[in-house]
Structure 1
Amino acid sequence: MWKKRKWQSYLYIMPAVLIVLVFFITSTIFTIITSFTDWDGISQMNFIGLDNYVQMFQDPYFIQSMLNTLIWVLAALILPVMLPLILAIMLQKSRFGTIFKNIFYLPNTIAPTIGALIIMSLLSTYGIPKLLGMMGFESLDTYWLNIPYVNTFVMIIAGVWQGIGTNLILFIVGLNNIPPDPIEAAKIDGASGFSLYKNVVFPLLKPTLVIVLLMSIINSFKVFDSIWMMTKGGPYRTSETLAVTMYKETFVNGNYGYGSAVAVVLSLIVLVISWFYLKRTFKGEME
């Protein structure tokens, strides 16, 4: 009877296991195999060894894409973490905390493509640039998303605006779950202001910080929707990230082998960074 119940329990997780096997593991293996071929999605696959990987690191567009991705990652370590943390501290005990939480979380409920369309409308020649031009800043009266490298920072700010709500809620929940006793003890010992948060609150908030940082890093590596909607990686492919390069090479240029190689490199980077980050973060707890 016990063995029968044991096998029945496995049946509940079988659909999820099958989905992972079919849609994740098999597709991962197929992508890795394809990365060693010159497949164009139609003709027969031809094994070419490491040619795609050699070409990748000699491709100036890939190098630019890698640099842009690193800019997104560095920005993800600052803006989407520091700003929600400061706001969470300010709103934790505010009388109007619920109202502001809803306001900040509202952009998060919008699909990335819709958010990108909103930003494009605001930055059009009849939007914010036009308003700044009328105020005397004629040099700013232009379509910012057409300016190489400037558009990357504009899209990063747009991404922070749309994704700030989730991190804000996580930080507020983390702050509310901190036990009051250590904070009260620190206040009795004379701790206050920034020293109280640095020495007591932030260490107790570490689990939430780990989650928020890891989510921000991973999301910055795979950002695609907003970039594709706003610039499609242009002009002259100067605003591409690895995710955009992977999509463009695979589905636009028809270089499935090369695009798969980019996907493999992107996945490896995310896995390695996540592994080292989690290992370093929880090193003290593992020992």
Structure 2
Amino acid sequence: MAIRVLKPWLFIMPALLIYLTVIFFPAIYTFYLSFFSWNGVAPHKDFVGIQNYVDLIMNDSVFLRALKNNLQWTIGSLVFIMGTGLLLALLLNRKMKGRVLFRGVFYFPFVLSGIVVASGWAWMYNPTQGFINKVLELAGLDSWTHAWLAEPKTALYAVFVAALWQGVGQPMVLFLAGLQTIPADPYEAAIIDGAKKYQSFWYITLPLLRETFVIVIATTMIASMKVYDIIYGMTGGGPAESTQVLSSWMYYQTFRFANIGSGSAISLFLVLITMVVIIPYVLYTTRKSHL
């Protein structure tokens, strides 16, 4: 009897140990450090309670800017990255020549490193030799040329375009997998009943993709909240801190300014925001799908 009870635990023990060592205990230690003022090398830590959290909200304008940028990035990801992925999936789910090739072409950027994508797009945005400004000049649109990454008003949107190019492949593949599980019978019945294409999409495709949407929205939101590498590679958080997000500002506070307490507090903010958004959504959608 005892062996039967212990057997499942023996199977999950390796994964559980890795989880506790790599994720759980470091997270608890980070939470602990967020209540101290410490530069990472001093032998003693000064306990400051919740002062790090108060300073971030009340005195750190860059943190508030980073939080705003993260929210904008999340909304943009849900609207443009997920929307474009769904559109491509609908187009590439049709019978057409070369659709497998096109699927690979659109998915390929997703497997690239964020730093590689950042380097390539940074050159494309180069104000004098970059591809984008050169195309605008050849098209006679010289007035549209711009120092895209050097202007605070456009830098974040320019980086987001690069992220859109890289990230659209994942939702496209997930939506394709969902579309291919939908049987043809409902569509045939809809045609017999005289339904338009947009009606079939609204009343058949979208409801039957509900579980796929759960996965896509959750992964898209998580990715948008922890975005870091492409921003660090293209702008480093500048110009004038206009492209800072929570992850990049956490890095700067922790490793550039040696403010371990503030960096840990930012990481806790990031975790809490992600949990507050993701957990209720997943619970609601999964409960709704089982009704």
The two structures have a TM-score, normalised by structure 1, of 0.94
- Alignment partner, residue 76 of structure 2: 75
* C-alpha displacement of 1:264: 0.4
- Alignment partner, residue 141 of structure 1: 145
- Contact 1:130–1:142 (CA under 8 A) maintained in structure 2: no
Paired residues in the alignment total 286
- Alignment partner, residue 32 of structure 2: 33
Secondary structure at the aligned position of 2:140 is classed as coil
- Contact 2:210–2:289 (CA under 8 A) maintained in structure 1: no
Written as runs of structure 1 = structure 2, the 5 A alignment for 1:13-162 is 13-43=12-42, 44-58=44-58, 59-95=60-96, 96-124=98-126, 125-127=128-130, 128-162=132-166
Give the distance between the partners of 1:116 and 1:67, measured in 2 at CA: 22
Give the distance between the partners of 1:246 and 1:149, measured in 2 at CA: 23
Give the distance between the partners of 1:47 and 1:286, measured in 2 at CA: 48
* C-alpha displacement of 1:131: 3.4
The letter for the 2-side match of 1:110 is: L
Give the distance between the partners of 2:235 and 2:143, measured in 1 at CA: 21
Secondary structure at the aligned position of 2:168 is classed as helix
* C-alpha displacement of 1:7: 3.9
- Contact 2:155–2:243 (CA under 8 A) maintained in structure 1: yes
Give the distance between the partners of 1:135 and 1:215, measured in 2 at CA: 38
* C-alpha displacement of 1:23: 1.2
Give the distance between the partners of 2:289 and 2:197, measured in 1 at CA: 28
Written as runs of structure 1 = structure 2, the 5 A alignment for 1:229-268 is 229-268=233-272
The letter for the 2-side match of 1:42 is: V
- Contact 1:38–1:256 (CA under 8 A) maintained in structure 2: yes
* C-alpha displacement of 1:5: 6.5
Structure 2: which 5+ residue stretches go unaligned? none
- Alignment partner, residue 12 of structure 1: 11
Secondary structure at the aligned position of 1:40 is classed as coil
- Alignment partner, residue 208 of structure 1: 212
Give the distance between the partners of 1:184 and 1:3, measured in 2 at CA: 56
Give the distance between the partners of 2:35 and 2:45, measured in 1 at CA: 9
Secondary structure at the aligned position of 1:282 is classed as helix
Secondary structure at the aligned position of 1:267 is classed as helix
Once the two structures are aligned, what percentage of the paired residues are identical? 35
The letter for the 2-side match of 1:91 is: L
Secondary structure at the aligned position of 2:46 is classed as coil
Cα-to-partner distance string for 1:37-87 (whole Å, 9 max, x where unaligned) = 101101111110111111001211111111111110110111111111111
The letter for the 1-side match of 2:48 is: I
